[in-house]
Amino acid sequence: MFSLDLVFLGCKLENIFKRMRLGLFFMDLDLMQRSLQQAEPLVELGADWQSRNCFNFNKALHCIAIRNFDTATDLLVSAIATFVCTEIMAYTDFIKYTVLCGALTLKRGDVKKLLIDNPEIQQALHYNSTLREYLFSLHECEYRLFYQRLADIEVK
């Protein structure tokens, strides 16, 4: 049985997600925050998995924008296997943000476990040698190469 309330819930969430994208585009952090606050109870009310993933991804982007990298890392790492928000950014860019946030906040053992040993990240890093060298040089304490790749990433 398909409930009409769930249909309206999906439409409401989609509209809120569009407002979040506008807030992200214009870097309107207040709009993003208000949209997240409006979406959270709707997601908890019974959103489907795609809406939950989009909510968490938008929340991660907001956390990056306000420089709350710990929360952003947790949300991004948990979304690696189920990333669906390709209307906001490509999967390769998503992996880049995940690696950069993870390198800032994760402990060395967690970097290995959550980033280096992750097959989805390994596959994406295969196509981005600069990001791969950045991550591996940090983990292997090759700081000269690490800072060179950090400068290369900043330029891109």
At the topology level of CATH, where does 4-155 sit? 1.25.40
Q: How far apart are CA 61 and CA 13, in angstroms?
A: 17
61-116 tens-digit pLDDT: 999 999 999 999 999 999 999 999 999 999 999 999 999 999 999 999 999 999 99
Contact 54, 21 (CB under 8 A): no
Q: How far apart are CA 127 and CA 106, in angstroms?
A: 23
pTM, 2 dp: 0.89
With residue 24 as reference, give the H or E element that holds it: helix 4-25
pLDDT at 127: 93
Q: How far apart are CA 82 and CA 42, in angstroms?
A: 20
pLDDT at 146: 96
Return the domain boundaries, the chain.
Answer: 4-155
With residue 40 as reference, give the H or E element that holds it: helix 29-46
Side-chain half-sphere CA neighbours of 117 within 13 A: 7
Give the confidence band of 1 by pLDDT, cuts at 50, 70, 90. Answer: very low
